[in-house]
Amino acid sequence: MSRNLLVHEIYLSIQGESTFAGLPCIFIRLTGCDLRCSYCDTAYAFKGGQTMSIEAIIQTVENMAQPFARNGTLGHKLPLVELTGGEPLLQKESPALVSQLCDRGYTVLIETSGAHDIRKLDPRSHRIMDLKCPSSGESDRMFAENIEHLSPRDEVKFVISTHEDYRWCKSQIEKWQLNERCEILVSWCAPLTASQQDPNLKPAPSPETLISRQEIIDQMMKDALPARFQAQLHKIIWPADAKGV
């Protein structure tokens, strides 16, 4: 019996975030998420999509990857492959898909909200896990046990909208000594465009509480924060609400 996933889209672009930013990457965007973060820019993936077997997904990936066949980079077959969403861990076949992609030699990244158990994912993969800041409206949905299972292959991401978010991020890094566990990514939360607004998202923070990119970086320097500030490359290169990039 074939094992299926609900897939919103599969496309080739550059990786816009994480320590892998800038490398070619095939994105497998899965449908559905059980959170409603105030800043979610992929609410369009909450529903829709098509059912695909693991074999059909891998065949699509192999076809897209074929032009890169002899062009790897140090330590990584290219393109990378990322499962994103939505929330990939909501689909029970995601771990099997990840393992089969790893078996084929791909460097596999999984973007996850942090609300679900990451242990089910193949240890050869790279888990890029959010820790949801207060302004997301979803801080209390984090699966706390995940912290103990982070490895140096993984990355933790804070998306920061407000001054309170920054202070919370700093306190979490200290509390869990995250810098001794894995890479830490700090992202500025880009405002949603009109077309990205979704009435089901948690309320956005009030404008007077917002923090700018420069303020985040100034504060990181003052605090000697052991983290990597990252811009979202795809939002610099393409319009912020472009899909499939």
Of residues 165 through 224, those in contact with ligand SF4 by CB under 6 A are none
Pairing of strands 77-84, 126-130: unpaired
Instruction: Say if CB 6 and CB 87 are below 8 A apart.
Output: no
Binding test (CB under 6 A) with ligand SF4, winner from 82, 87, 155, 183: 87
Minimum Å gap between C-beta 227 and ligand SF4 is: 19
- Cα distance between residue 103 and residue 48, in whole Å: 29
CB of 37 to ligand SF4, least distance (A): 3
Q: Which residues pair with 7 in a beta bridge?
A: 30, 50
Rule CB under 6 A: is residue 35 a binding residue for ligand SF4?
yes
Element (H, E) at 57: helix 54-65
Judged by CB under 6 A, which stretch of 16-24, 30-38, 94-102, 212-220 contacts ligand SF4? 30-38
Strands of the sheet with 228-230, listed across from one edge: 50-53, 4-14, 24-30, 77-84, 106-112, 126-130, 155-160, 183-188, 228-230
- 137 belongs to the binding site for ligand SF4 (CB under 6 A): no
- The verdict on 235 binding ligand SF4 (CB under 6 A) reads no
- Asked whether position 24 contacts ligand SF4 by CB under 6 A, the answer is no
Give the residue with the Cβ less far from ligand SF4, 78 or 129: 129
- Closest approach, Cβ 218 to ligand SF4, in A, equals 26
Q: Are 125 and 102 in contact (CB under 8 A)?
A: yes
Contact track, ligand SF4, 36-75, x by CB under 6 A: xx--x-x---------------------------------
Residue choice 79, 86, 95, 205 for contact with ligand SF4 (CB under 6 A): 86
Pick 86 or 95: Cβ nearer ligand SF4: 86
Q: How many CA atoms lie within 13 A of 44 on its CB side?
A: 13
- Rg for the chain, CA atoms, rounded: 17
- CB neighbourhood size of 176 (10 A): 16
Nearest approach, Cβ of residue 2 and ligand SF4 (Å): 26
Residue 205 beta carbon to ligand SF4: minimum distance, rounded to whole angstroms: 15
Angle, helices 213-223/163-176, rounded to nearest 10 degrees: 30
Query: Would you count residue 113 as binding ligand SF4 (CB under 6 A)?
Result: yes
- Residue 79 or 86: the one with the smaller Cβ distance to ligand SF4 is 86
Contact 68, 81 (CB under 8 A): no
Residues lying near ligand SF4 in the complex (CB under 6 A) are found at 33, 35-37, 40, 42, 85-87, 113
